[in-house]
């Protein structure tokens, strides 16, 4: 694909983004800690739910040093309602590692940080020229056949989230539709995770809520699973949050 054509496609995308991009509070920041919190919270959680929780988190622990010094129990309590509670402990451990050793060059060395999250922090906070590829970015790139720079990362995420939808893309609203080989296509539904209701995930969440509330959880299997993940401590019959 000629370089001038690639540049023109990216220009179209960026022009669209200027008027249609999502207004997310962390997008005005370059603090790697704040960006890391936003990315970890946004894993498997709708961004609309993340925004107020991210703001509250940063009010309570505004720096990586503040989070590292916090008791693990407080971190778990603050995370309640976001789901996948292991993310809270991983974020806490990452903060402690950063305080002890500094930000690593390879951010995947941090607990709970995979390739996408590492690239997102590198791109949005550290100014590195790497394109973080989440499910929305991958979808747009695969359908358009385009090659985009790191400067288009947020625009690609927004386009994939709001226009280039998984099953029935809104091609009529897409700034890239005129040259898109997938224009007008419909796609098979993506396999989704099983329902939360009645699942073991729900049992774990119920047991952890009981511990947070100071009551005795009744599900021994769920408690054992939480203990293996370090989310609770079991001392005989007593179950408590980690210190």
Show the domains of the chain with their CATH numbers: 1-23+130-192 (1.10.1670.10), 31-124 (1.10.340.30), 200-240 (no CATH)
State whether the Cα torsion 127-128-133-139 is positive or negative: positive
Does residue 44 contact residue 135 with C-beta atoms inside 8 Å?
no
Q: What pTM, to 2 d.p., does this model score?
A: 0.89
pLDDT tens readout for residues 38-66: 999 999 889 999 999 999 999 999 999 99
Per-residue model confidence (pLDDT) at position 191: 65
DSSP 134-181: -HHHHHHHHHH-----GGGHHHHHHHHHHTS-SSS--GGG-TTGGG-T
Query: Average pLDDT, stretch 191-210?
Result: 82
pLDDT tens readout for residues 217-240: 888 899 899 999 999 999 888 888
Could you tell me which of 193, 169, 198 has the C-alpha nearest to residue 181? 169
> In residues, how long is the chain?
243
Catalytic residue among 10, 39, 216, 243: 39
Residue 236 CB burial class (10 angstroms; 0-12, 13-18, ≥19): exposed
Number of CB atoms found within 10 A of residue 157's CB: 23
Number of CB atoms found within 10 A of residue 220's CB: 11
Instruction: Place 5 in a pLDDT band, splitting at 50, 70 and 90.
Output: very low
Per-residue model confidence (pLDDT) at position 202: 87
* Average pLDDT in the chain: 92
pLDDT tens readout for residues 102-128: 999 999 999 999 999 999 999 999 999
39 is catalytic: yes
SS3 of 195-234:
CCCCCHHHHHHHHHHHHHHCCCCCCHHHHHHHHHCCCCEE
Distance of CA 209 to the CA centre of its chain: 22
Query: Average pLDDT, stretch 29-43?
Result: 97
């Amino acid at each position: 694909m000629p370089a001038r054509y690639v540049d023109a496609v990216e220009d179209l995308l960026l022009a669209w983004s200027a008027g249609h991009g999502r207004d997310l509070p962390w997008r005005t920041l370059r603090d790697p800690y704040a960006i890391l919190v936003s990315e970890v919270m946004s894993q498997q959680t709708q961004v609309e739910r993340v925004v107020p929780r991210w703001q509250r988190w940063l009010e309570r622990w505004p720096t990586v040093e503040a989070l590292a010094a916090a008791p693990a129990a407080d971190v778990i309590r603050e995370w309640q309602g976001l789901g996948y509670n292991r993310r809270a402990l991983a974020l806490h451990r990452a903060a402690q590692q950063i305080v002890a050793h500094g930000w690593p060059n390879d951010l995947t060395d941090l607990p709970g940080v995979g390739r996408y999250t590492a690239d997102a922090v590198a791109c949005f906070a550290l100014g590195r020229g790497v394109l973080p590829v989440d499910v929305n970015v991958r979808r747009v790139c695969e359908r358009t056949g385009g090659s985009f720079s790191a400067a288009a990362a947020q625009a690609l995420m927004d386009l994939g989230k709001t226009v280039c939808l998984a099953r029935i893309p809104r091609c009529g609203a897409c700034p890239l539709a005129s040259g898109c080989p997938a224009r007008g296509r419909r796609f098979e539904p993506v396999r989704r995770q099983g329902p939360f209701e009645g699942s073991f995930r729900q049992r774990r969440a119920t047991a952890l809520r009981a511990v947070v509330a100071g009551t005795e959880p009744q599900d021994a299997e769920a408690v054992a699973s939480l203990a293996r993940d370090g989310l609770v401590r079991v001392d005989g019959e007593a179950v408590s949050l980690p210190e």
